[in-house]
Structure formats: structure tokens, C-alpha cells
Amino acid sequence: MILFLVKRLIWIGLTLWAVFTASFLLMSSVPGGPFQSERNMSPEVRLRWLERYDLDAPLHEQYTNQLTGLVTRFDLGLSMSLQDFTVNDVIAQGFPVSASLGIFALVFALALGLAAGMVSALWRQSIWDVALMSLATLGIALPNFVLASVLILLLVFKLPIFPSAGWGSLEQLVLPAICLGAPFAAYIARLTRTGLLEILSQDFIRTARAKGLPARRVVLRHALRGALLPVVSFLGPAIAGILTGSLVVERIFALPGLGSHFIEAATQRDYSLAMGMVLFYTALLTTMNLLVDLAYAWLDPRVKLD
């Protein structure tokens, strides 16, 4: 276990370094700069700004300074578009919003997806199975911004049940969480159905039924645990996908999360903020994959961490 964790942590560090290097080279090769829109800026003032953000140094010095600050102090630098704010401050302020939205969306996706998948598997080839799997296919194909538009029209303008945008109350998280979690609920439903159908055909399930165990106990205690393995494997990329997918959803519902800052960093050419967001999402994705591997080994004793 310890050796496995050490190897994975080293691999995560190498991945972050590779992403940092690739992002730095790509941003350095893009024509223009973060201050090119400031037409009335004098050469002296422009030079001061370049010195402030260490953009007047040669590229290899910029790379070394940024990498050293990141490794030794976890310092992502100053934001170029949000003056007097560091990138660490922006992430610290925006991540709770994105995390809250992501948790609500993940809970919605798990609850709806697991329930739909179990119903489809237990009543295979019934009208419920056909209807739920058809909705799951539609949920996978339908982009979340289209679903957001439909929900806003129905539940904000036609039936004023939820607020259209903003941040500060649970009601303002309902529609964004549904829009963000619906595609993942569809994937989870299909994975749960497939996994449960495979487990229900195993010999140990027939043995449990032959012993006279109630059907509910057979499904919940014996079959469901094995059926969750594909879902657990999907959860690592799904959690990262929920947070990265919130870029558009946060913009539609005016939520002050990381997605809004990511878009602003791209449009304003905020190199340090864009770099910080990319590294943060990379660290999040690799960490979630590590946790998924640990959970996979816990659910299935046959899996050995190596």
C-alpha cells in the first residue's frame, strides 16, 4: 500500500510538471500579451507592469522562477487581470462555490443514476427499462447548456419556482446542479444497469437466492457492491468533469466559481491565473483517480494495489 502511494504521488508530481511545462511553452508562444489592450499605457508604465509580473525576464528565467515558487511555496503568482489578488486567493475564493455546485451535482447524479440503473436491471426489458434507458441516452446526448436553457424557460419564466441566477442560497444551486449532473446521471444509470445484470447472473447470487434470502437483501448486500465497480471507476473522471464542466454552467447562472475565473483568464490573457487553473484541475483529476483506485481495491478484495 505505502509503495503504491509513493509511486502514484511521484507520478502525480511528474504529471503536474509536464502540464506546467507544456502550458508555459504554449502561453509563451501565443502572439500578444496581457497588456496589449491598454492602448493609453505609456512605455514607462508598460515596463513597470512587465517588471511587476516578471515578464521582462528571459523565458528560461521566467520558467525557473515560476517553477521554483510553485515547488517551494505553492505560490502561483499574482493575477494579471484581478489586480491586488494572487492566484492562490482567487482559487481559495472560487473553489468553495465550484465545490458546492459539484457536490450537489454529484449527489444528484448518483441518486438518480443508481436508482434508474437498478430499476432497469431488476425489471429488464420492461417499459420502465426502455423508458429509463431512453432518457439516459437523451441525457448523454443533450449538452448541459441546452438543458439549462430549457429549465430556465420552464422553471424560471413559465413557473417561477427557482431563481434564474446568483449565489447565496440553496435554491440558487438547484438548477445548476441538475444541469451539471444530468449527463453524469445518465452514464451512471447505464453503468449500474450493465454491472448489476452481470452480477445477478453469477453463481454466488443464485446460491444466496437458493438459501432463501430476501430479494432486497440479495440485491443490496450482495449484488450491488460488485455492480458499483464500474461506477466507482467512472467517478474519478466524473468528479473532475463535473468541475471542469461547470465552466459553462457557472457562466449561465452567474456563479462566482472557478469556471468564471477560468474564462476570464483566457479572454484577458491572464497567464498566471490560467496556469494556476490548469494546474489546479490537473491536481484534482489525478487525486480523484488515486482515490478511485483505493476505493476499487476496497470494494473488490481481488484487486491488489501494485
Domain boundaries in the chain?
1-306
For the segment 151-209, what is each residue's pLDDT rounded down to a tens digit? 888 888 888 888 877 787 888 888 899 888 888 899 999 888 888 888 777 777 777 77
**Whether the Cβ atoms of residue 105 and residue 111 lie closer than 8 Å to each other:** no
In the predicted model, is pLDDT for residue 38 greater than 60? no
DSSP letter string over 128-171? HHHHHHHHHHHHHHS-HHHHHHHHHIIIIIIS--S-SS-SSSTH
Q: What pLDDT sits at residue 234?
A: 82
- Residue 18 is predicted with a pLDDT of 94
State the Cα–Cα distance between residues 276 and 16, nearest whole angstrom: 11
Of 17-31, 43-57, 80-94, 180-194, give the lowest mean pLDDT range: 43-57
> Using one digit for the tens of pLDDT, what is the confidence trace for 136-151?
888 888 888 888 888 8
Query: Which residues face 78 on adjacent strands?
Result: 86
Give the distance, in angstroms, between the CA of residue 238 and the centroid of all CA atoms in the same chain: 6
* Mean pLDDT on 225-236: 77
Candidates 3.40.30.10, 1.10.3720.10, 3.30.70.250, 1.10.10.10; CATH matching 1-306: 1.10.3720.10
How many C-beta atoms surround the C-beta of residue 102 within 10 A?
26
pLDDT digits (tens, 9 = 90+) for 58-104: 888 888 888 888 888 888 888 877 777 888 888 888 888 888 888 89
Three cell numbers written together for 271 = 497567464
For residues 126 and 216, give the distance between their C-alpha atoms in angstroms, rounded to a whole number.
19
The pTM score is 0.76
pLDDT at position 14? 93
Give me the percent of the chain exceeding a pLDDT of 70. 86
d(C-alpha 97, C-alpha 259), whole Å: 10
pLDDT band at 21 (very low <50, low <70, confident <90, very high): very high
Compute the half-sphere exposure of residue 100: CA atoms within 13 Å on the CB side of its CA: 17
Residue 67 has a pLDDT of 87
